[in-house]
């Protein structure tokens, strides 16, 4: 991909009362956001940047006069601001056959090569960069199939009780033929996500879920928070680096063990779980849930209800700005004879803990170094899984307390609860 398109025409109504510059010139670590956009484009060898400007465009033009880069930078200036979608449609003749689109008020360190390779692999019309975040309630959220095809976009503010924490993050790979100017252009304010993407999901639109860094700087408090942490742009957690991870069991570990959880209303969380998971998010560890859900195979819980259970869990965590980087679950069960069982799920699989399948999948998808990672659970099953995959293990004095007696294994550490375990890991082992 050769062209990066940056949308930077808006007035920045959320932040302009604090700063007398266009959003693209807001300073992060002493440099304007535009500086970081250009440097990222140089890193991934883009040949062209199209800047779509509007509000105080002359400020941006004056900055570029002093900027030294080998990338060809073109400006398309909007005289009348017509939203992110309207701006893109009006600049139609400036667009390459395929291009990468980003919003000017985000700071990112995305591996753009991986992003584009995924777009090509899926033969997508549009690929949307998505990730869990600490504020899903104020984000546009995607619902996707198992193959990552987006089937619904939940536009903020949400009017649904259950929604996953998978937010749209203002970066897209787009084929120009998707942008049908005659079809979409209404000569009025148009939002790219709300008015174009969400209304054209019959096209091949995919989610690229990543842990690579991207942050909205369009609010003062977010900009201040980023500027307080000078390492955040180059943080350890991304798909390029080998990551370390804290893997969590679910029942008996972060929620009470009730025996075959089959309804979201039965979820009962241990105290301070959300705060502890937020601490993991703020550390150098990923936070990934791995759980057996044999209630699916046994016919005691539908996949729709399981989705509600996970959504309820994610919403609870987000109340304290915590999130799970990913959820992996096994729906299988090896034993037959249950009244409403799902026969094709009654198998001996490689993903039911303590089998390694879920961990290996997470390792491959998120570039995880298992020798620097941890498994936390309440059963010998969890400890056996951690040991067999080369992780350090913690057994909790909650749930089964290791008294399931399925395997003769000893954990590396024992703690009374999840919070004590996380405090220990982060105090002793959170090194870069």
| Residues assigned a catalytic role | 249, 251
CB-facing half-sphere around the CA of 309: CA atoms within 13 A: 24
Q: Which two tokens stand for residue 416?
A: 């009374």
Instruction: Find all residues with CB under 8 Å of 20, minimum gap 6, and list them.
Output: none
Burial of 160 (0-12, 13-18, 19+ CB in 10 A): exposed
- The SS3 assignment for 86 reads helix
End-to-end CA distance of the chain: 32
Which single residue is written with the structure tokens 């535009």?
34
Which contiguous run of DSSP H or E holds residue 128?
A: strand 126-131
Task: Report the candidate in 374, 300, 364 with the shortest Cα–Cα distance to residue 331.
Answer: 300
Q: How far is the C-alpha of 401 from the C-alpha of 415, rounded, in Å? A: 10
Q: How far is the C-alpha of 25 from the C-alpha of 59, rounded, in Å? A: 8
DSSP string, 320-385: TT---SEEEEE---S----TT--GGG-S--SSSTTSSHHHHHHHHHHTB-GGG-EEEESSHHHHHH
Backbone angle region of 321, left / alpha / beta, with phi > 0 → left and psi within -120 to 50 → alpha: left
- The SS3 assignment for 27 reads strand
- The SS3 assignment for 120 reads helix
Burial of 161 (0-12, 13-18, 19+ CB in 10 A): exposed
Q: How far is residue 68 from each of residues 50, 63, 65, measured CA to CA in Å?
A: 16, 10, 8
**H-helix segments, 127-198:** 181-184
């Amino acid at each position: 991909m050769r062209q990066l398109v940056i949308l930077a025409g808006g007035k920045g109504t959320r932040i302009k009362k604090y700063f007398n510059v266009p959003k693209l010139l807001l300073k992060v670590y002493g440099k304007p956001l535009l500086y970081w956009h250009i440097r990222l484009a140089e890193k991934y060898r883009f040949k062209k940047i199209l800047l779509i400007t509007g509000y105080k465009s002359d400020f941006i033009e004056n900055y570029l006069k002093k900027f030294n880069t080998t990338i060809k930078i073109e400006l398309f200036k909007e005289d009348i601001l017509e939203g992110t979608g309207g701006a893109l449609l009006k600049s139609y003749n400036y667009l390459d056959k395929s291009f990468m689109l980003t919003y000017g008020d985000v700071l990112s360190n995305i591996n753009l090569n991986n992003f584009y390779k995924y777009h090509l692999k899926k033969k997508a019309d549009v690929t949307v960069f998505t990730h869990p975040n600490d504020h899903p309630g104020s984000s546009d959220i995607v619902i996707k199939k198992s193959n990552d095809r987006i089937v619904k976009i939940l536009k903020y503010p949400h009017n649904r009780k259950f929604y996953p924490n998978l937010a749209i993050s203002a970066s897209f790979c787009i084929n120009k033929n998707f942008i049908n100017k005659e079809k979409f252009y209404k000569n009025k304010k148009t939002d790219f996500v709300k008015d174009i993407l969400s209304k054209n999901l019959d096209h091949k639109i995919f989610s690229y879920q990543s842990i690579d860094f991207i942050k909205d700087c369009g609010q003062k408090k977010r900009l201040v928070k980023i500027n307080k942490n000078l390492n955040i742009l180059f943080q350890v957690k991304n798909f390029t680096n080998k990551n370390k991870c804290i893997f969590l069991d679910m029942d008996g570990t972060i929620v009470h063990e009730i025996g075959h959880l089959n309804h979201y209303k039965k979820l009962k969380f241990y105290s301070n779980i959300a705060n502890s998971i937020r601490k993991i998010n703020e550390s150098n560890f990923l936070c990934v849930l791995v759980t057996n859900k044999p209630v699916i195979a046994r016919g005691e819980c539908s996949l729709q209800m399981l989705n509600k259970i996970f959504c309820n869990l994610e919403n609870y965590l987000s109340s304290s700005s915590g999130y799970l980087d990913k959820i992996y679950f096994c729906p299988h069960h090896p034993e037959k004879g249950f009244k409403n069982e799902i026969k094709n799920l009654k198998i001996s699989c490689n993903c039911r803990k303590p089998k390694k399948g879920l961990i290996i999948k997470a390792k491959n998808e998120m570039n995880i170094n298992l020798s620097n990672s941890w498994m936390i659970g309440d059963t010998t099953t969890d400890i056996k899984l951690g040991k067999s995959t080369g992780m350090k293990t913690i057994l909790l004095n909650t749930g089964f307390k290791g008294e399931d007696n399925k395997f003769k294994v000893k954990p590396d550490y024992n703690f009374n609860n999840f919070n004590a375990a996380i405090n220990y890991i982060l105090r002793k082992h959170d090194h870069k």
